[in-house]
Structures are given as C-alpha cells and as structure tokens.
C-alpha cells in the first residue's frame, strides 16, 4: 500500500527541489491516504524516524533521544501535518450581512507556520486575506483558521495562497477574495544558497480584486501599521 514507484530521474528530483517548484495546484495525496488511523501512522512514522536517527549514528539509548522518534511522529500527524486530514478542516460557517457592510474586509498579519514539501523545513511568515461580501460574512477567526489549516501540510507557498482563496470563495459564495503571503523558507535560509535575508511573496486575486484600483486598495491596507499605544 505504501510502495512508491517513480520514473523521475535523480537530476530532475534535485532540480524541482532546489528550485522549489510546485507541480500541482492541489495537495498531492494518494487515494489511500486515510485508510489507516492516525495512531497507526504515528507508529509507522516512529519506526521510520528511529531508523533515520540510527543511520545518522545517534545513540537512542540516551535519555534526550529515547523519546524523539515518538515525539516527531506525533508532531507530524497531530500538529505539523494535521491539515492533510479533511476531518480537521475548520467549520466555515457564514452569516447574513445584515448590517450591509459592502466595503472590503481585510484580516492582515495572520501568522503562517508551514513546511516546505521539498525538504520538510519550516516556512514562516504572514498572510493577508480580504474579501468583499455579496451577502454573506464570515467570522474573523475563521479566516485565521483557514490559513492555519492549509498551512499544516507539506506545502509550496503558491499552492497555499491559492487554497486559502479557494476555501474562502467556496464558503462565502463569491469570487471576490484575495490573499497575499510573505514568508521565509528555511530551505533557502539555512541550506543551499543560505540567504537569510530573502523572503517569498505570493498573491492570488479573485473577482473584483483583479481590478487595478481594488487590488491597490487591498495592498495599501496591508501597508497600514497596527498600533495599540
């Protein structure tokens, strides 16, 4: 069930990984992805992590390392990649726009913690999400939860940005949704080119946000400084 066959050359694999190229707009999941329970996944991953650490020469009898395989496995299934499982998708309940607010709503500086699917290293940054109501509104915290859900899976930033917009569009019944993400990729910052200063910006604009003036308004809102002093 878990055998993987590929005809891709090692050179092509390195090219995709080193250039951080996304190959699918949808998270690439096998049809049998959820045929086994989370507990079974944790047990399997635990053994795999144990093999990796032993291969690296680590002494797993040391008190500090003894529980590492289980801790990593639990973190993968229950936290870092919990967004893979559809059962963990947040409820995206909406409400009627009874107060007739018809201007843009922006939720900015949403913290993004994700994992690059090429090297399984962290992606850390901020997301800015906006929509224009066509009769429905969504709770502010739901926008944060949408970002968090899709971030909690092996990702490429372009796909994450698109998935956030698509989920919002589906929930609100409108194409008028936008998302911009600015994030640092530790696969760039800590390995390869080792550029600790660079960050990656991606954007997805739907409906009215494709219009120049609406897009500019959204980007101007993002620039506003938030102060509570």
How many whole angstroms separate alpha carbon 131 and alpha carbon 205? 10
CB atoms within 10 A of CB 221: 14
How many whole angstroms separate alpha carbon 63 and alpha carbon 158? 41
23: DSSP letter = -
Which entry of 116, 166, 179, 204 is annotated as an active-site residue?
116
Q: What is the mean pLDDT of the chain?
A: 90
Q: Is 157 a catalytic residue?
A: yes
Query: What residue segments make up the domains of the chain, in order of their start?
Result: 13-88, 94-223
CATH 3.30.1130.10 fits 94-223, yes or no: yes
Which entry of 119, 149, 155, 179 is annotated as an active-site residue?
119
Q: Is 149 a catalytic residue?
A: no
Q: Is 185 a catalytic residue?
A: yes
In the chain, beta strands by DSSP E = 94-96, 104-116, 122-132, 136-138, 154-155, 177-185, 200-205
Contact 181, 160 (CB under 8 A): yes
Which entry of 20, 46, 107, 117 is annotated as an active-site residue?
117
Helix (H) and strand (E) counts in the chain:
8, 7
Enumerate the β-bridge partners of residue 132: 104
Kindly give the residue spans of alpha helices, DSSP state H, lying in 67-177.
Answer: 68-75, 140-151, 157-172
CATH 3.30.70.20 fits 13-88, yes or no: no
24-67 residue pLDDT tens: 778 999 999 999 999 999 999 999 999 999 999 999 999 999 99
What integer pLDDT is reported at residue 178 of this predicted model? 98
Which entry of 157, 163, 179, 204 is annotated as an active-site residue?
157
87-125 residue pLDDT tens: 999 998 899 988 888 899 999 999 999 999 999 999 999
Q: Is 187 a catalytic residue?
A: yes
Which entry of 20, 107, 118, 155 is annotated as an active-site residue?
118
Q: Do domains 13-88 and 94-223 have the same CATH topology?
A: no
């Amino acid at each position: 069930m878990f055998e993987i066959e590929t005809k891709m050359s090692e050179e092509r694999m390195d090219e995709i990984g080193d250039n951080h190229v996304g190959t699918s707009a949808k998270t690439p999941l096998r049809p049998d992805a959820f045929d086994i329970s989370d507990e079974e996944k944790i047990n399997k991953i635990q053994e795999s992590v144990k093999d990796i650490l032993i291969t690296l020469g680590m002494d797993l009898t040391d008190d500090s390392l003894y529980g590492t395989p289980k801790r990593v496995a639990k973190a993968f299934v229950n936290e870092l990649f919990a967004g893979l499982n559809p059962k963990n998708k947040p409820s995206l309940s909406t409400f009627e726009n009874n107060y007739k607010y018809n201007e843009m709503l922006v939720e900015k500086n949403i913290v993004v913690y994700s994992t690059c699917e090429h090297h399984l290293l962290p992606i850390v940054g901020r997301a800015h999400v906006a929509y224009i109501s066509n009769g429905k509104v969504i709770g502010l915290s739901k926008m944060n939860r949408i970002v968090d859900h899709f971030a909690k899976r092996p990702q490429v930033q372009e796909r994450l940005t698109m998935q956030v917009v698509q989920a919002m569009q589906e929930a609100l019944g409108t194409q008028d949704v936008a998302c911009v993400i600015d994030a640092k990729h530790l696969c760039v910052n800590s390995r390869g080119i080792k550029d600790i200063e660079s960050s990656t910006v991606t954007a997805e604009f739907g409906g009215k946000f494709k219009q120049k003036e609406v897009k500019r308004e959204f980007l101007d809102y993002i620039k506003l400084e938030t102060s509570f002093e």
